[in-house]
Amino acid sequence: MSLATLKKLILYLLVLAVCYFAADRVLAYGLQTLLDQANTRFSKLYSGGMDADIVVMGNSRAVNAFFAPEIEKQLDKSVFHLAYNGMSMTVAEVLFRDYLERNEKPEMLLLEITNVYGTARLFNDLKLFMGKSDRLQESIADYNKPLAVACQVSNLYRFNSEMYFRSLYYIDRSDQSWINTGQVDAEYAQNYTVSQEDKDTKLFPTDNDNWEALLRIVELCRDEGISLRLVATPYLPAFRNGITDFDTWVADFRVALPGDVRFYDLSESLTSNEYFADVLHINRSGSVLLLEEMIEEGVFEGDDNGPSSKPANEN
């Protein structure tokens, strides 16, 4: 290669790098501005100023089990749904701490508990908001260092996620009323019952990170005076029967929880297939029925009222 060609190559690469980084920053700024206008739960969390009575968290089972508009109607309280598909307890802790720093303190945190066996993969998508929170940025770096570095190199890469495109859809509408409206048919449930017999599903090797995150959430709620309710929502009965370690896990979980924490195992509260969208998720009519059950069980009653205020290990 001649010296002239080498010079040309170096110059080209330099100009390319300068133009790329400039365009990257400008475009990222534009995309961030759009994101700030979105009405998704995470955009609203980080925009701050929310004043909800009840905050709901958990994974997709929480997304589909707790229908915010119905809870608001039945209880006459404002609800902020912060649950999201794949949200593990470690992710929930970071988001809840960020929520408390930017928004009014809620009366209650309603937490779907079966996310204690999830991975923290949602952090990958939450890179979208890493510029908004040092805590989130550190958590992402702990979980996936190359991702955090890549986001520093290319700001545009932060917006390279399904969550960003989803946020654009919610520029002029709220995502608080997400709910599954589908319904499993008899054939699906029957097939599942048959196939499940051979499976011996084990779902609950609660991992340490998630368990410790839960304990920290308990402590945080205690310190802030927030009522905490832990709920295990329903599974499709055929599937629930196949989870061989569920009952043992629930029993161990109750014993391990601090005595003042209220935990409700409602995993068997819906027995008809019509209330399910699939094996893991209930549908809208299921969520209405579940809410009635929760009210009956006293989930939403104050910490010092009613029989349901008994500590978890006595429940």
Partner 1 sequence: MLFNSLVFWIFFPTFFVLYFLTKGQVRMTLCLVGSYLFYGWWDWRFLGLIALLTGINYWCGLKIAEVGDEVHQRKHYVTFSIVSSLAILGFFKYFDFFMDSFYSMTQTIGINFHPLVMGIVLPVGISFYTFQTMSYTIDLYRKEMPVERSLLKFSVFVSFFPQLVAGPIVRAKDFLPQLQSDRTVDWENLRQGINKVLWGLILKVVMADNLAITVDRAFAEPSAMSGLYLLIGAIFYGFQIYGDFAGYSLIAIGLAQMLGYHFNANFNRPYLATSFSDFWKRWHISLSSWLRDYLYIPLGGNRKGKRRTQINLMLTMLLGGLWHGSSWNFVLWGGLHGFYLIAQRWVSPLWNVPLPELLKKLFCWFCVMVGVFLAWIFFRVQSFHDAAVIIEKIATLDHFHPSTIFLKLHCLKGALILLSIFAIEVLSTKIDFDGIARKRPSLNLAYGVVSLLALSFLGMYGGNAFIYFQF
Nearer to partner 1, 32 or 160 (CB): 160
- Which is nearer to partner 1, 139 or 180 (by Cβ)? 180
* DSSP string covering 206-221: --HHHHHHHHHHHHHH
262-265: strand order across its sheet: 79-81, 54-57, 108-112, 227-232, 262-265
| Shortest CB 144 distance to partner 1, Å | 11
Q: Measured between alpha carbons, how far is 110 from 124 in angstroms, rounded to an integer?
A: 24
C-beta of 32 vs 313, nearer to partner 1: 32
Minimum CB–partner distance for residue 222 and partner 1 (Å): 39
Q: Which residue, 11 or 256, has its beta carbon nearer to partner 1?
A: 11
Rounded distance, CA 222 to CA 258, Å?
Answer: 11
CA gap 154, 22 in Å, rounded: 10
Q: How near is the Cβ of 143 to partner 1 at its closest, in Å?
A: 15
Nearest alpha-carbon partner for 128 in 170, 173, 83, 164:
164
Length of the chain counted residue by residue: 315
**Closer of 53 and 278 to partner 1 (Cβ):** 278
Report the residue number, 156 or 257, with the smaller CB distance to partner 1. Answer: 156
| Residue 174: CB minimum distance to partner 1, A | 17
Q: How buried is residue 54: exposed, middle or buried, by Cβ count under 10 Å (0-12/13-18/19+)?
A: buried
Binding-site ranges for partner 1 (CB under 8 A): 1-2, 5-6, 8-9, 12, 15-16, 19-20, 23-24, 27, 146, 150, 154, 156-157, 159-160, 162, 165-166, 169, 182
Q: 127: Cβ–Cβ under 8 A, 6 or more apart, which residues?
A: 140, 147, 148, 151, 157, 158, 161
Q: Closest distance between partner 1 and the C-beta of residue 106, in Å?
A: 30
In the complex, least distance from residue 279 CB atom to partner 1, rounded to whole angstroms:
12
